[in-house]
Structure 1
Amino acid sequence: MGSGQRRVVVVGAGSGIGAATAAHFHRNGDHVLAIDLRPNDTPAAQHELCDLRDTSAIAALLTRIGPGWDLLAYVAGVPGTAPATDVLKVNYLGMRLLAEGMLPLLREGGAIVTVASVAALGWTERIPALAGLLDTTDPDEVQRWQAGQDPAYPVYSTSKQAAIIFAKRLAPAAWQKYGIRVNTVSPGPTETPILADFETSMGKDVLDTVKATVGRHAAVEDIVPVIDFLGSPQARWINGQDIHVDGGFVAPMLAGPPIQL
């Protein structure tokens, strides 16, 4: 990926972080392919529609768009208020199938950046529990797997944990075979149209606590530059990482209470 115009695929470009990501690259003069479930007026050079729950629709999309891309930014996501299998199919399986399918379509030196979430916290302890999900690319099997899970465990968290684990497992092979880096960005709560769904599924009190602790929720403008950086040649030695973009909310949960200043 030299300087000059990049060719960027943004999935989930219709609203929220995805729309802001597409508009950002378009403003920079890059050739942007904006993909979403519904028609939208996000600024981009090309638009495509795709239902990410439908594996044949993903396969057809990959055939249509052809090779020569620099970056896949997978920003599509549905909140935990959606049906559980849709959450898994869009946030994890669709991402996986598009990422694997894009590898031969990306130029050497290209990158894949997936938007995960700080809701994936604890993914390291969940690797054995998610083995069955990570072993399949069949949507029916994903549905069967979810049917066997504890319904009290938030499926949104499961979907984002699986996304991070998959990205970390894909990264070494993608680098060695294709010269492509794979990383994830995990935002904290962000002011987007689906924030209200997160208040419903996670509890408004939880999100208010986050807001009180770090001062505000993220804006899309806080997240987009990190996606851009990870997709750029400046991040050429960053691979297989999950970058928290949360104002520092998660750090004390992992490292212990903050130092009092």
Structure 2
Amino acid sequence: MKGKNIVIIGGNSGIGKKVAEKLSQNGAEIYAYSRSFTGEQHLDIEKDFEALPNLPETIHGFVYCPGTINLKPFKRLTIDDFRQDLEVNYLGAVRTLHFLENSLKRSKEASVVLYSSIAVQTGLGFHSSIAGAKGAIEGLTRSLAAEWASYGIRVNAIAPSLTDTPLANSLLSTPDKKSAAEKRHPLGRVGKATDIAASTVFLLSDQSSWITGQVIKVDGGISAIK
């Protein structure tokens, strides 16, 4: 990863922060943007924007981290709830990819990593809004992988199960909740941000140079075994 320019959206906490740390340790140049950053690194992905400041002309990797966890019965989910989940999880990725397309093409070997959820391919109650938004991410992953393959751009997604990050705090906020979540996973624990970050760095690296259009489940076995 030495000398590669990697853009991370949502790189201030959780998975994004761990990705940035691992990439930096491997010699990559990190360009991180987040709504929680101030100054030129501030970016609200729910709004249209004209520029990402201080970027080099060539980008070798892109990671889109923003997400939501909005779990409610379908009847209680409003159209605004669905719209918000689409804005954060899907349309924000579309906006930034639109802006970065030419810079990724200049690399001739770029890698894009997006995040889905096991809720897309494994039916989970109360997940209809987030599963819909993340399903859009999976469709985008495969479509862009096909469209951009001739430019040497690889596009993949990671589909995690419940991961211990600030975003998931409400689901793991008590010992009982955490214990129950751990027991649902065959490997006996929920995910760590470092688990997802390690898979992300692999997909950005040359070690995955023959992988594109894939949705890789990193989920402690919950979607595949009992």
Q: Which of 158, 162, 167 matches 1:189?
A: 162
Deviation of 1:183 after TM superposition, in Å, equals 0.3
RMSD: 2.7
Cα pair distance change 1:7/1:179, threshold 3 Å: same
Question: Counterpart in 2 of 1:241?
Answer: 214
| CA drift at 1:99 | 2.1
**Conserved? CA contact 2:122–2:223, under 8 Å:** no
AA partner of residue 215 (structure 1): G
Name the residue aligned to 1:173: 147
> Given the superposition, is the C-alpha separation of residues 120 and 206 from structure 1 closer, same or farther in structure 2, using an over 3 Å criterion?
farther
Q: Give the alignment partner of residue 217 of structure 1, picking from 190, 202, 206.
A: 190
Alignment check: 8 A CA contact 2:182 2:188 kept = no
What's the counterpart of residue 144 of structure 1?
A: none
2:90 and 2:148 map into 1 onto residues whose CA distance is 18
1:162 aligns with 2:152: no
Q: Does 1:94 align with 2:82?
A: no
Query: Unmatched 5+ residue regions in structure 1?
Result: 41-45, 124-151, 253-257
Residues 203-223 of structure 1 deviation map (CA, whole Å, 9 limit, x = unaligned): x59962754533000111111
Write out per-residue CA displacement over residues 219-259 of structure 1, whole angstroms, 9 at most, x where no aligned residue. 1111111111111111111110000001111013xxxxx5x
1:118-154 residue CA offsets vs partner (Å, 9 max, x unmatched): 122259xxxxxxxxxxxxxxxxxxxxxxxxxxxx762
In the alignment, which of 55, 62, 79 is matched to residue 65 of structure 1?
55
Where structure 2 has 5 or more consecutive residues not aligned to the other structure, the ranges are 72-79
Deviation per CA, 1:42-67: give whole Å up to 9, x if none: xxxx9611111012x2x332x76352
> Among residues 18, 41, 44, which one is paired with 1:51 in the alignment?
44
- Residue 114, structure 1, aligned to residue 114, structure 2: yes
Q: Give the TM-score normalised by structure 1.
A: 0.72
The change in CA–CA distance for 1:69 and 1:13 in structure 2 (over 3 A counts) is same
Identity of aligned residues (%): 27
Count of paired positions: 211
Q: Distance in 2 between matches of 1:209 and 1:228?
A: 25
- Which whole-Å CA distance do the structure 1 matches of 2:97 and 2:180 have between them? 31
Q: Name the CA distance, whole Å, in 2 between partners of 1:60 and 1:247.
A: 38
Question: Is the 1:80–1:154 Cα contact (8 Å) retained in structure 2?
Answer: no
Corresponding position of 1:137: none
Distance 1:212 1:171 in 2: 30
- What TM-score does the superposition give when structure 2 sets the normalisation length? 0.83
Aligned counterpart, 2:69: 79
